[in-house]
Structure 1
């Protein structure tokens, strides 16, 4: 499993063990003193010439331990910085749910396992990417319930499910809206109007929608949609389990607002087990008193910052990157690579020489969580937090990021000790009355279940999105997670093909005069190109194709766009 692979990752010969500085075009080993002296001088120069906003820092989900929130204290002491807004994973869906419910609703795992009679996955391939939920699903089945899935293709999860229905990419909102209309026609009760602030306007909107248009948009027949409706009623209460992939569209927020509306009509507020589960704030328990307070912050959308750099005033003169590999993971990765080459000085902190590190001027080796002590991590789906315990010595000269930033601060004459701040976080967490120790380094948080605890009223959607159209003869590209990849990385993943497989409907393959096993070149709307092997898959619909995320070069085909909530609409790409 992915977790077990971390032991071999931490001891791999691929580990960085010493700082590396670019000289005459090549990265060469240098001492920590020299590396930090160079970085400090670049920071001083940038701030003196253009002010603190000329410093940019990017971090992502490469590590979600609490200590990563301490790093911006350095930039707070310097007066400000530039960073990203939104994330590559869940921003659009979280934005849509917040618009409807005031926050991203939390459904506790035990609520699902103890009360739901049905679980409906909206695009979530749980058996590959969320396998820890499987025991909960088995408990639902053990109580006579069923698991169902809405997907764009057959997956291990659709095979595990008791039934599944295919839906068009980005068509989930339309299916949810059609189901809402049918429920209103049938006189949906359960007191939903009392928990909604705009019931009349919502109902008028739903009744005005053309049912045939909704089903065409969803790519679902009336027969299948009616079958799903009967399933939802038969196995109520149903927990709707929405996927990150379902919100990676320009209308990703609307996808989730309509799924949320359906959950409300089906009784989300009226009894346990009938809510919606998606994601949540992994950092919710971070001690707020220790968060950095930065005077000036310039935020750029996570997916479009590379194409916005040239218009910035002041310009970005020095960029640091930690816990992220945007050259591999961000849409429009060719733009990311170009941006890194244009910024005068770039730093990457990582434990291996990633695609991004290879493009930077300074590369600093950091520890993995197996080499760190007293750091904390929450979860995007359950109510447990873990405290790291050091079980391996640091590899070579690698340092924790808090120590790296502390040493840089000293060279800049700043009275900052992020290592001590990390210890303070640890002491605060260990003393928290919110936590119950349930195992070695494992703590349970009695986190409120939104659907039972919140007194807010929902604001249901009163508009429908306009779907983007690709050029004639092009296929929408959908990139999907693979269980072998860790945060989209594949450098140590087993069974990774030298040439990625592009899954496509047999009739679409024939349109391009291709067949199973053929090699071809997939070309994006811009300049990106990727050699692929064709895999015919009759479980797909027409007009789209599928590639695995994390594949080298795949994001040269995706578009650097921003969705509502500053998400990354990877699926708004066409080849």
Structure 2
């Protein structure tokens, strides 16, 4: 049993903060979680989502035995039977249709770097079928990289040197509390904080200035601000290319165009122009929602261009940020299999792709993933699971996907296993996990489950030796020790060389006869998971609409209505919010059923267009 005491670890949630943790263990149980004081971002505190683990590790929702679906009910079975079932189903699928008939789907239930070892199972089978493309933030990185060819890695503490800070679609008061602490310090030093969003949020409330705009208007607004920057500053002096064509395009965007698109008054638009130009250096921090559209990369590129035109690139406290670069710290050739031929299906249209797959997928394994809740057009994912002969879900609790599978296998969580690493996509720290609690009896580690299945299939046992190689990440020459089990990654500034102006400015189409659906990150949810899932299945979720739309449709607070489109339908209760644009419906992204309505479109780079979703609002059927 794990000895009583304190253990240093790191939160592996898919969250930008990557908090350093001090975990207290007593008699094998986690009894307390606090933030590491020597972590310059965590600063000794963690959010309530992290603190929930003290309760959730031994909560009533915790799975502790394999569950098999029989006669449409789940029954307890033993581990040997469960593993034999899984291996036999994969074997039969491969015999009938080849290795691509096995789907290995990995989600973002945690960000442990060692998860990649599990890829050996599908790769050693020949490649199998796996998902590609992002539901989250890859599109913004594409746009940011267009400027200089790289996303780079900079310290977010750069905000402390800013005189003006603009959060564009970013809501750290709910979603990144440690960045909020940095912003507080920057304001104490005299910085002004401004926010652009599609609704009032806790972040707009604490900002010095805030502008609430219509969803989908950001590109027009960014082009107009570039227009103003061109008039004020003229052609920039730093090395660049493509200036003339971009100048011609954005000078066509007038103040009237920006007002019409955003819904801002002339005075509010004038104030926003003043905010971005009057007090340099300006840092702009873009959020996730605004880049989850077909033109998301173009939008982030234009916002970055605004920073360049205003002379803020390469200036301490100035510039444009989205996410950090995906640094490859894993050893060369880690968990790879030469010659493997993987069939990739797009994650943002997973259900439709699996239903149409040829050869068909007849055995599916879901690890740390909940695509039946998280993926756009989730109804098609559920339809696939209904017809797939065998599906197994590895999870620590009963997710939407687990409920739809043939077999459910209970796994450990990151606090119950150690010797792994987490690299933040917001700050510059690599941190090591330590085991801080014993798992409940009957629960097994993910890697051991995958390895046992592989051995039953007669595959070589590379899992343990490959897992041992993970420790080599500590020897990367770009790392500098920053504390026990904590390293700082060397900065890799992206502001270098020639700036590339956008080569095209896309036209944004709209469907005025429908309402735009926006799904937003909220304080309580991570990865499409509602911590009160049982309650969420019995109560309709709450959809926020404007008081203007409510008046137009004769809606009242708490009224039950149905949201509907070609993907599906969802019953909700109405909440009136005067800050939301008239033709908009806002839903929390973590609520079960929301993604039944989300469009499965792909950007040109294969990422999700979640916020290009349109719906009808109808009276609920009694």
Provide TM-score, normalisation by structure 1: 0.93
Report whether the alignment pairs 1:336 with 2:353.
no
> Which residues in structure 2 correspond to 1:339-418 (within 5 Å)?
339-418=384-463
Per the TM alignment, residue 263 of structure 1 is displaced from its structure 2 partner at its CA by 1.5
Report whether the alignment pairs 1:305 with 2:373.
no
In the alignment, the residues of structure 1 paired with residue 562 and residue 349 of structure 2 have an alpha-carbon distance, to the nearest angstrom, of 23
Report whether the alignment pairs 1:108 with 2:155.
yes
In the alignment, the residues of structure 1 paired with residue 321 and residue 129 of structure 2 have an alpha-carbon distance, to the nearest angstrom, of 32
Q: Structure 1, residues 277-326: CA drift from partner, whole Å, max 9, x if none?
A: 11134563222331424621222221112112233221112111111111
Per the TM alignment, residue 470 of structure 1 is displaced from its structure 2 partner at its CA by 2.7
| Residue 221 (structure 1) aligns with | 265
Q: Is the 8 A contact 2:331 2:469 kept in 1?
A: no
Q: How many residues align?
A: 566
| Residue 267 (structure 1) aligns with | 311
> Which residues in structure 2 correspond to 1:162-561 (within 5 Å)?
162-188=208-234, 191-192=237-238, 194=239, 196-281=240-325, 284-293=328-337, 295-426=340-471, 428-451=472-495, 454-455=496-497, 457-470=498-511, 472=513, 474-492=514-532, 498-517=539-558, 519-526=559-566, 528-561=568-601
Determine which of 568, 584, 609 is the counterpart of 1:569. 609
Report whether the alignment pairs 1:87 with 2:127.
no
Q: Structure 1, residues 403-442: CA drift from partner, whole Å, max 9, x if none?
A: 111111111111123233222202x023334333333332
Q: Structure 1, residues 336-367: CA drift from partner, whole Å, max 9, x if none?
A: 11111122211111000111001011211111
Matched position secondary structure for 2:103: strand
Per the TM alignment, residue 471 of structure 1 is displaced from its structure 2 partner at its CA by 5.5
In the alignment, the residues of structure 1 paired with residue 531 and residue 229 of structure 2 have an alpha-carbon distance, to the nearest angstrom, of 48
In the alignment, the residues of structure 2 paired with residue 247 and residue 233 of structure 1 have an alpha-carbon distance, to the nearest angstrom, of 24
Per the TM alignment, residue 124 of structure 1 is displaced from its structure 2 partner at its CA by 0.8
Larger RCO of the pair (alpha carbons < 8 Å, separation 6+): 1
Determine which of 68, 71, 88 is the counterpart of 2:115. 68
Greater displacement, 280-289 / 78-87 = 280-289
| Residue 127 (structure 1) aligns with | 173
Per the TM alignment, residue 238 of structure 1 is displaced from its structure 2 partner at its CA by 1.3
Supply the RMSD in Å over aligned alpha carbons: 2.1
Per the TM alignment, residue 159 of structure 1 is displaced from its structure 2 partner at its CA by 0.7
Matched position secondary structure for 1:289: coil
Q: Structure 1, residues 543-562: CA drift from partner, whole Å, max 9, x if none?
A: 11211111121222222222
Any stretches of 5+ residues in structure 1 without a counterpart? none
Per the TM alignment, residue 502 of structure 1 is displaced from its structure 2 partner at its CA by 1.5
Any stretches of 5+ residues in structure 2 without a counterpart? 1-47, 616-622
Cα separation, partners in 2 of 1:560 and 1:527, compared to 1, 3 Å: closer
Determine which of 69, 87, 94 is the counterpart of 1:40. 87
| Residue 117 (structure 1) aligns with | 163
Q: Is the 8 A contact 2:546 2:578 kept in 1?
A: yes
Q: Is the 8 A contact 1:333 1:555 kept in 2?
A: yes
Cα separation, partners in 2 of 1:437 and 1:12, compared to 1, 3 Å: farther
Per the TM alignment, residue 394 of structure 1 is displaced from its structure 2 partner at its CA by 1.8
In the alignment, the residues of structure 1 paired with residue 462 and residue 108 of structure 2 have an alpha-carbon distance, to the nearest angstrom, of 24
Matched position secondary structure for 2:544: strand
| Residue 23 (structure 2) aligns with | none
